[in-house]
Amino acid sequence: MRRYAILLTFLLLVPISATRGQADIIAIKAGKILTISGDPVTDGVILVENGRIAEIGTEIEVPENASIIDASQKVVMPGLVDASAVPPVRGDLNEQSSEITPALRISSALDPQSKVLKRIVQTGVTTLYVSPGWRNVIGGLGVVIKPTGPPRRTQEMIIKDDAALTVVMGLDPISGNRIPWREPPTNFYYRRPTTRMAIIWMLRKSLFDAQQYATSKDKEDPGLQILCSALEDEIPIRLNVRRAINIRTALKLAEEHDLKLILDECTEGYKVAEEIAQKNVPVVLGPFYYYPGSSSQYREGREVNWNNAGILANAGVKVALASGAQSQPIDLLTAATFAVRHGMPRDKALKAITMTPAEILGIADRVGSLEKGKDADILILSGDPLKVTTRIERVILNGKTVHKTD
Amino acid sequence: MKSRFCTAFTAVLLIVFVMSALGYAGPVRKKLAIQAGKIITIAGADLKNGVILIEDGIIKAVGTDVEIPWDTFVIEAKDKVIMPGFVLAHTSSGLDRANENVPEVPFLSTFDSIDPISSYFEDSLRDGVVAMLVLPGNNTLLGGTGTVVRPHGRTVEAMLIKRYTGLKISLRPTRNTSRMGHMQRFRRYISDLKDYLEEYEQRKADAKEEKKPFDEEIDTRKQPMVDLLDEKLTAFIYCDRAADIPKAIEIHKTHELDTVLVLGSDCYKAVGLIAKSKLPVILPPQLIVWETNEETNEEEMKIIPMIFHKAGVKFAFQTDTSQYGSRYLWYQAATAVKHGMKRTEALKSITLYPAKFIGVDDRLGSIAVGKEATLVFLTGDPLDAQAWVDQVMIAGEIVYEKAKDERLKKLLEKPDEIQVPEDTD
Amino acid sequence: MMDYKRIVVVPSLLLLLMFTSTFGGQDIAIRGGNILTINDAPIENGIILIKDGKIEALGQDVMIPADVRTIDASNKFVMPGLIDAQSRLFVIDSELRESRTIAPELNIIDAIDPFIKEYREVLAQGVTVIYVAPGSRSLVGGRGAVLKLNGSKTADKMVLKTDVAVKAAIGVSPNNESSSLTRLEHYSSIREALLETKVYMQRKEKYDRELAEYKEKKAEYEKKDGEREAEKKEKPKRPAKFRPNPTYEVLAKVIRKEIPLQIEAHRVSDILNALRLADEFDFSLILDKCTEGYMISDEIARRKVPVIVGPVSTSFVDMPRLEYRNHDMRNAAILSRRRIKLALGVSGRDGASSKFILSAAAMAVANGMDKDAALRAITLTPAEIFGVADRIGSLEVGKDADIVILNRHPLDALTQVKTVLIEGKVVFERKTEQ
Amino acid sequence: MRRRIFPSILLSLSVFSHLVVAAEDTQSLAIRAGRIWTVTDGVITDGVIIVKDGKIHAVGKEPDVPAEAKILDMSDKDVIPGLIDAHCHVGLSLDIFAEIDEIVSAVTPDMQILDAFDPLAEDVTKARSSGVTTVMLAPGNKNPIAGQTAIVKLYGNKMNDWVLKRKGGVKLSLRDEALMSDRRPTSRAGLMALLREQLNEGKAYKDDEYDPCGEVLKRVADGNVPAYICACTVDEIASAVTLVDEYGLKAVLIGAEKGDEIADIIAERDIPVIYAPLLLFSKDKDLKRVVKLANSGIKLAFSSTAPKTALHDLRTSAILATKYGLNPEVAIKSLTIHAAEILGIADRVGSIEKGKDADLVILNGDPLQLTSNIEMVIINGHIVYKRQEE
């Protein structure tokens, strides 16, 4: 059903862009093109047709009917990919009534009119991953969207539904749960988990239930069905972990069940960088910068290293930098700039906000770098992207200018 | 002869005492010369390959063709950029509690509340801040007086630059009070104060008439407000929303105060009024706010420093320690430059202007002959995120060195390998 | 496309600039309209001449000087700017929350946020003046003010009159709970405050007397002092300083009839209590809301108390509160027929609701109010009640040129405000059809 | 099914038997009117309406007037069909909000709002003076699946006269009100998951084991019964459209305050809209929205959501909409025939046509003027309200 819906959306989208695209071919004359996938190109041209990159290189003939964007003094790079963004959803992100809600789809709650989308596109983000909240042990399915234009139906923004299953090993699922102390439980907050061990027990039990379900299947259960596809590696698991001990547990669990894992937030990842690298598990770093000594945002993961991203990347871990879904968001270019300040190699930092998240989200065939055939998600910058004084002058999304500064 | 010896002796003693009080054991040289790759003087043009001559912590000469006397200790900094230390014109961090829960407490002083071992000061020094005005928070109507300190020293006395500077007035109503009630409370306080002063003068006159000695002093609890009305203290008026600006200006005018406006993030809407009033301004820490355009329904980015810059308002930046980049003053300036502010003006807004607003511009804020040698040594351009504060010099004395910063090392370097017990199952 | 837009935008901006710079405050003539003067009979095909923000001349045969900008109002209706007597514009409700119950010394001016943009939409519906008062949370909430929507960025420049009335409320419950006990408490608390004020006034009078005596004696003493130093009489003693109390100072003005007391009362018993208070203390009373006033219209009429009625329909308020249980849409009609001085207010959900003032008047007409009386109730009568009728409220020579030009009769549902002038300045002009 | 209805009929009848008919009861009426707004067939000036047995017998310039008919001379007045309030909560007790939301469980499709309706309630009597003759009663917004609506007239002698539809459809709510912190669902995504789960269950429901909820859900999921979906913001409406697409619901949107932002998407699927009362808004931007919605070709009805706004202001909504640019003809149709069509009762009410119920409203002026007053209201041929000068 859902697959069809996506397919339908594509079919709907294609003719729209095709009719519009025939008239306008855009040629971007760029001073410097950071393709990300390959070497930078100086004095190059990008041809955009039908919302896709038709041609990219130095010696390209510009068609006569093309409208030209002159960026010959500028730097051009692919639109940013935010692997964990502030959800454009109203109200509670968490379904509090149960700890295990795998059938929850955050895509069905997206608010196309959300201010978050209008803002994030101005910071250069053209693709973002939205996850359910972190209050449940198994939270539900996340979605990859593009912040396209004025309020449309959410389906038109989605480029990959059921992109990952949110699982939390951090302490968030405990918060709010109560112990029935002297009185009988009066609502559903009197429940497990109230400890770290219970969180992991619940996760294990759910996986066990799913395995049982896979063999018997006596009554259809959409939740367990989704867990089954996660066990069969059809849907990757986005696991929120902060402390090193939890990261180890997660890696062990992944080995036991042969899961396809992506680690989220990973505050103490730098302590176990080699182990993560060895298991070939990618990492999405949330707000990696957190100052010890100031008022704590988290109860756990206080031992922060500013160079978390650099240490992980140098150990060979696939690292994506994200704006941070659940806390004070930051803009991605700033995140990369500070990652470099704190020790991450420059090229890896640039990849960490474009190509790497695209690969982690499984959409690298469409976004993340400037290559022929990919979506025309392009940023035009006034200078080096890793300078605070550099400004985003134009954001092009699917070949259309969606933001411009004057 | 003897008296001269005596003075010299006491002077030496005093210096020794002050140095020990500063708590820094390193050698203090009387005469210093810094050979810098680049000097951003703020006072004038930038100098390439310049020299700064320092004597007794005071700048004696700055220039490219300054001759270095033979008896001078030379600091080589040819790969560094040197500029005056950053000045923070308004902060309520580093205090035990920033706000008293009684609304009218002008007699309090942050001097009694500053926590010298708070990591906030250590961090500030690391980030190149050399002077800051610590004021009470924004939740009390008359919050108390402020203290200018340098983020270096183990006691408040050692940190002290200037005591009894500025008085915080907050126009944001406290809980259970309406905006009307808040303003009424302020007026009531002032009118009560004036009544009190009138009676005081009356008693003084009566005593004089009766030729009795008069030794009654003004109530110490009221003294700061009296000084405020006499322009001996600067009023730092916190405006929460744009609607507070006209009120602040009215207070400024009716009581003829020396005023600095401390703005909330909504106040940019009143930029016209602020520009007209020609009052100095301290911008909110959050420099970019989003506003929904009612007609187009688009989200518009409002860049607060640009709005004020275009209106010709002189301002100082503030920082917010809980925020990502805006915890650094240089980042605030760089954000403004990103959106079109003039570089020199942006740099002044983190050095000279704040120094002026808090009344220490005779000593700090720029590199000029006669000013204190309070400098930061940067590894690159101040507005570039890849540049670090390498050294900080306060009054001719190096007080911070990145190479010796253990805390920073811990934050940036990979920890030693942890032994993991073997998994046996 | 872009260029085309720019071509249009730039000249129109220039035009706008020219308007504001050259015509602002200049002489203007409005010609050819059907002038509803409100205080007098309408003038068909009349001319209004404006000079220095005031109405200079008015009538069918007014000479228009040659160099005057003329606004053509033929086939249109011209009337004075509308007044919403129960507006919430420029205030944020949460900022009016005061924990004190008797606080007449508060002034709504301190809570005015001139940066609220909604006033433009209200202005575009012909409202040029509003009356804002503190809410009904406190029993005596503070003083209200009459403001002009002239787009000024400081409250002081919007003010037409401050200290218009002291706002009080009897029997209005913030939590939608109502019991006779709280009603009694409201009434007796206000009464107590007024009684205390009387005591305060006596004390102050006494002090003033003593002070005068003291000064006299002192002068005498000093005179003697100069003459015969040896025979020093006892030095006169200064009376103990009297500290003025701002709360009672304001209430004293109410008792001296310098400021009216505006009492919000909905139910019959509360209205009667308000009238009783006015009888006892002899202050000038303005009845606000007066939801069940139609049941005791004779009582109100007998005392010649002015009334501000609103909301006309309960749909204007957020929740049908208990106070509106016996709300009747004919309230305004019944009261106005008793020759009670009556103003209509919107009393809407928020500040922007003030734009419905014409709709409210039309609803009152549908429920039996006379058309002229309804128009008067949103122009001249509120101006009279608030004591600003010398400046606004009708089209008369010498009054402020606050003028609204509409394409149809103001009570027609499809009427559109075409032009609004405040003190002779065009502050709104409709370019396109809505 | 039938055995479940029976007791409630008995109950209702016992209530109605106490109803004292105050208004005069006439068999035939001939109404001579200045203007007759037939709604479906233009305006007839100086026409006559013949009412017989509670139905409209004839309309025209000069129809034959039966000898026994009582003649009402309204030759300077306007006659319009009785207004239809497509979403309100009248007659449900004063403490209304306790009466319309069964919040203990989030899914209560088998609840019937008619069981809570009190025809003798004060507000029903008062409502007749508003010109509204037919209303859709609905449960509140606090349950994702709230229960069954009912379509009733505001006057009648017998049970059948009152109730047009006992089960008008099922009301669903996608509003934030349906989310609670201590009941499932607590989040928007959870709300959608719950609705999908329930509709899937409905689809899978088999007759062999009787379950009242399942049966209702089946009829909704199969599109046999209209789903009245309360959705106001863009994301709520978008979610509603998603459900319509996935399950093929026969949907009607209630509220749809910001529907204009995705009007084309609503129009594409021919989803009619019962619009929120306009007096809830105060900004021009919001007041104009209904116009764009109507111009996109969406069929509109108005609602008062009484007691949120007064029933009297149903007409005010339409008038305000015309002030902001709605075509007057569309406005009056939305109050009458379009509303009837949306609710599926156009064979009985909504216009002045031969054979339809004699629900008539007589005003002293243009119905789309706020200053016009309602002089008389006729329901099923009975004069139920007559304006009195006080």
pLDDT tens-digit readout, C300-358: 999 999 999 989 999 998 866 778 888 999 999 999 999 999 999 999 999 999 999 99
Q: How far apart are CA B334 and CA B341, in angstroms?
A: 9
Split at pLDDT 50, 70, 90, the class of D27 is: confident
Closest chain B residue by Cα to residue A114: B299
Kindly state whether D316 is in contact with chain C, defined as any CB-CB distance less than 8 angstroms: yes
pLDDT tens-digit readout, B64-123: 999 999 999 999 999 999 999 999 999 999 998 888 888 999 999 999 999 999 889 999
Q: Which of C376, C287, C373, C288 is nearest to C337 (CA)?
A: C373
Q: Is the pLDDT of residue C299 over 70?
A: yes
Q: Is the pLDDT of residue D2 over 50?
A: no
Q: Are residues A92 and A69 both part of a single domain?
A: no
Kindly state whether D243 is in contact with chain A, defined as any CB-CB distance less than 8 angstroms: no
Share of chain D above pLDDT 90, in %: 76
Query: Residue with structure tokens 């060979």?
Result: A316
Q: How far apart are CA A12 and CA A19, in angstroms?
A: 12
Q: Are residues A231 and A195 both part of a single domain?
A: yes
pLDDT for A292 equals 46
Q: Which of A377, A324, A333 is nearest to A352 (CA)?
A: A333
Please list, in sequence order, all residues whose beta carbon lies within 8 angstroms of the beta carbon of residue D142, skipping any fewer than 6 positions away.
Answer: D101, D103, D173, D177, D178, D180
User: Which of D89, D97, D129, D282 best probes binding to C when mutated, by most C CB atoms within 10 angstroms?
Assistant: D282
Q: Provide, as residue numbers in chain C, all residues whose Cβ is less than 8 Å from the Cβ of D323.
A: 413-414, 434
Lowest mean pLDDT among A154-158, B41-45, C344-348, D361-365: A154-158
70-89 of A, contacting B, C-beta below 8 A: none
The mean predicted confidence, pLDDT, of chain C is: 89
pLDDT for A20 equals 45
Residue of C111, C154, C155 with shortest CB distance to B178: C111
Contact by Cβ (8 Å): B95, B134:
yes
Do chains C and A touch by CB distance (3+ pairs < 8 Å)?
no
pLDDT for D94 equals 58
Q: Are residues A24 and A122 both part of a single domain?
A: no
Domains of chain B: 19-84+365-416 (2.30.40.10), 86-184+215-363 (3.20.20.140)
Q: Which of D188, D279, D281 is nearest to D242 (CA)?
A: D188
Q: Are residues A8 and A25 both part of a single domain?
A: yes
Q: Are residues A31 and A112 both part of a single domain?
A: no
Catalogue the E-assigned strands of C110-215.
127-132, 140-143, 145-148, 159-161, 166-169
Count of positions (residues) in chain A: 406
Lowest mean pLDDT among B185-194, D64-73, D155-164, D335-344: D155-164
Cβ pair A103:D179 closer than 8 A: no
Q: Provide, as residue numbers in chain C, all residues whose Cβ is less than 8 Å from the Cβ of D322.
A: 413-414
Cβ pair C115:B270 closer than 8 A: yes
Give the CA distances from residue A390 to residues B330, B418, C84, in Å, rounded to whole numbers and listed in that order. Answer: 14, 40, 51
Q: Are residues A223 and A357 both part of a single domain?
A: yes
pLDDT tens-digit readout, C55-77: 999 999 999 998 899 999 999 99
Cβ pair D235:A110 closer than 8 A: yes
pLDDT for D10 equals 41
Share of chain B above pLDDT 70, in %: 91
Domains of chain D: 14-80+354-386 (2.30.40.10), 82-343 (3.20.20.140)
Split at pLDDT 50, 70, 90, the class of A328 is: low
Contact by Cβ (8 Å): D33, D79:
yes
Cβ pair B246:C117 closer than 8 A: no
Residue of B119, B301, B337 with shortest CB distance to A122: B301
Q: Is the pLDDT of residue B384 over 80?
A: yes
Fold of C82-180+244-392: TIM Barrel (3.20.20)
| Whether the bond into A180 is cis, omega within 30 of 0 | no
Q: Are residues A212 and A225 both part of a single domain?
A: yes
Closest chain D residue by Cα to residue A1: D246
Q: Which of D385, D288, D294, D297 is nearest to D83 (CA)?
A: D385
Residue of B246, B269, B272 with shortest CB distance to C155: B246
Kindly state whether D93 is in contact with chain C, defined as any CB-CB distance less than 8 angstroms: no
pLDDT for D388 equals 83
pLDDT tens-digit readout, A49-82: 999 999 999 989 999 889 999 999 999 999 999 9
Do chains A and B touch by CB distance (3+ pairs < 8 Å)?
yes
Closest chain C residue by Cα to residue B293: C117
**Consecutive H or E run containing D43:** strand D43-52
Mean pLDDT, rounded, for D43-59: 95
pLDDT tens-digit readout, D290-327: 999 999 999 999 999 988 899 999 999 999 999 999 99
Contact by Cβ (8 Å): C201, C252:
yes
Q: Is the dihedral of CA B397, B401, B404, B406 positive or negative?
A: positive
Distance from CA of A154 to the nearest CA of D (A): 7
Give partners of B (≥3 CB pairs < 8 A).
A, C
Catalogue the E-assigned strands of A227-383.
237-241, 261-265, 283-285, 319-321, 378-381
Q: How far apart are CA B377 and CA B78, in angstroms?
A: 10
Q: Are residues A132 and A276 both part of a single domain?
A: yes
Cβ pair A109:D188 closer than 8 A: yes
Q: Provide, as residue numbers in chain B, all residues whose Cβ is less than 8 Å from the Cβ of C155.
A: 243, 246
Cβ pair B412:A334 closer than 8 A: no
Contact by Cβ (8 Å): C257, C282:
yes
D390 three-class SS: coil
Q: How far apart are CA B151 and CA B154, in angstroms?
A: 9
Q: Choose between D93 and C347: higher pLDDT.
A: C347
Give partners of D (≥3 CB pairs < 8 A).
A, C
**What's the burial of D60, exposed, middle or buried (CB within 10 Å: 0-12/13-18/19+)?**
middle
Distance from CA of B268 to the nearest CA of A (A): 19
263-292 of B, contacting C, C-beta below 8 A: 269-270, 272-273
Contact by Cβ (8 Å): A261, A187:
no
Sequence ranges of the domains in chain C: 1-80+394-434, 82-180+244-392
Q: Which of C222, C2, B23 is nearest to A404 (CA)?
A: C2
Q: Are residues A216 and A356 both part of a single domain?
A: yes
Contact by Cβ (8 Å): C393, C80:
yes
Q: Is the pLDDT of residue D18 over 60?
A: no
Q: Provide, as residue numbers in chain C, all residues whose Cβ is less than 8 Å from the Cβ of D368.
A: 413
Closest chain D residue by Cα to residue A90: D188
The mean predicted confidence, pLDDT, of chain B is: 91
What 8-state DSSP symbol labels residue D137? Answer: E
Q: Choose between C59 and C19: higher pLDDT.
A: C59
pLDDT for C40 equals 93
CATH assignment of C1-80+394-434, given 2.30.40.10, 1.20.120.530, 3.40.50.11440, 3.30.930.10? Answer: 2.30.40.10
The CATH number linked to A130 is 3.20.20.140
Other C-beta atoms within 10 Å of A379: how many? Answer: 26
Cβ pair C154:B273 closer than 8 A: yes
Cβ pair B182:C106 closer than 8 A: no
**Consecutive H or E run containing A144:** strand A138-145
What 8-state DSSP symbol labels residue C20? Answer: I
Complex ipTM, two decimals? Answer: 0.89
pLDDT tens-digit readout, A163-181: 999 999 988 888 888 887 7
Q: Is the dihedral of CA B174, B134, B286, B410 positive or negative?
A: negative
**What's the burial of C115, exposed, middle or buried (CB within 10 Å: 0-12/13-18/19+)?**
middle
Q: Which of B108, B172, B115 is nearest to B143 (CA)?
A: B108
Please list, in sequence order, all residues whose beta carbon lies within 8 angstroms of the beta carbon of residue A255, skipping any fewer than 6 positions away.
Answer: A279
Q: Are residues A291 and A221 both part of a single domain?
A: yes
Distance from CA of D279 to the nearest CA of C (A): 6
Residue of C349, C368, C413 with shortest CB distance to D370: C413
Distance from CA of B411 to the nearest CA of A (A): 5
pLDDT for D263 equals 94
Q: Is the pLDDT of residue A107 over 80?
A: yes
Phi, psi torsion values for C355, nearest 5 degrees: -70, -15
Mean pLDDT, rounded, for B134-163: 95
Kindly state whether C330 is in contact with chain D, defined as any CB-CB distance less than 8 angstroms: yes
Closest chain D residue by Cα to residue C362: D371
Please list, in sequence order, all residues whose beta carbon lies within 8 angstroms of the beta carbon of residue C15, skipping any fewer than 6 positions away.
Answer: none
Q: In degrees to the nearest 10, what's the CA dihedral of C60, C65, C71, C76? A: 0
Q: Is the pLDDT of residue B161 over 60?
A: yes
Split at pLDDT 50, 70, 90, the class of A217 is: confident
Phi, psi torsion values for C249, nearest 5 degrees: -60, -45
Split at pLDDT 50, 70, 90, the class of C181 is: low
pLDDT for D24 equals 47
Kindly state whether B247 is in contact with chain C, defined as any CB-CB distance less than 8 angstroms: yes
DSSP B289-305: EEEE-TTT--EEEEEHH
Most confident of A324-338, B192-206, C11-25: B192-206
Q: Tally helices (H) and strands (E) across chain C.
A: 11, 18
Which residue numbers of B have CB closer than 8 Å to A's CBs? Answer: 119-120, 123, 290, 292, 297-299, 301, 321-325, 327, 331, 334-335, 337-339, 383-386, 388, 411-415, 418, 420, 423
pLDDT for D161 equals 83
Q: How many domains does chain A have?
A: 2
Q: At what angle do helices D328-335 and D313-323 cross, to 10 degrees?
A: 160
**Consecutive H or E run containing A11:** helix A2-23
Split at pLDDT 50, 70, 90, the class of B259 is: very high
CB pairs under 8 A between B and C: 66
CB pairs under 8 A between C and D: 73
Q: Is the dihedral of CA A211, A216, A221, A226 positive or negative?
A: positive
Mean pLDDT, rounded, for D180-208: 91
Q: Is the pLDDT of residue A135 over 60?
A: yes
227-246 of B, contacting C, C-beta below 8 A: 241-243, 246
Cβ pair B243:C115 closer than 8 A: yes
Cβ pair A109:D189 closer than 8 A: yes
pLDDT for D160 equals 80
Q: Is the pLDDT of residue D133 over 90?
A: yes
Q: Which of D321, D313, D316, D256 is nearest to D284 (CA)?
A: D321
Cβ pair D312:C313 closer than 8 A: yes
Kindly state whether D246 is in contact with chain A, defined as any CB-CB distance less than 8 angstroms: yes
pLDDT for C386 equals 97
Q: Are residues A87 and A73 both part of a single domain?
A: no
Query: Residue with structure tokens 């000469």?
Result: B61
Q: How far apart are CA A86 and CA C79, in angstroms?
A: 53
Q: How far apart are CA A344 and CA A357, in angstroms?
A: 16
Closest chain D residue by Cα to residue A190: D182
Split at pLDDT 50, 70, 90, the class of C15 is: very low
Split at pLDDT 50, 70, 90, the class of D5 is: very low
Share of chain A above pLDDT 90, in %: 66
Q: Is the dihedral of CA D360, D365, D367, D373 positive or negative?
A: negative
Give partners of A (≥3 CB pairs < 8 A).
B, D
Cβ pair A293:B384 closer than 8 A: no
Q: Is the pLDDT of residue C290 over 60?
A: yes
Q: Which of D86, D345, D344, D111 is nearest to D217 (CA)?
A: D111
The CATH number linked to A400 is 2.30.40.10
Split at pLDDT 50, 70, 90, the class of B28 is: low
C320 three-class SS: coil
Cβ pair B173:C117 closer than 8 A: no
pLDDT for C229 equals 58
Q: Are residues A151 and A267 both part of a single domain?
A: yes
DSSP B162-218: EEEEEEEEE-SPPTT--HHHHHHHHHHHHHHHHHHHHHHHHHHHHHHHTT----PPP
Bridge partners, A69 (sequence order): A28
Q: At what angle do helices A244-257 and A196-216 cross, to 10 degrees?
A: 10
* Structural domain boundaries enclosing A24: 2-78+370-404
Mean pLDDT, rounded, for A21-35: 84
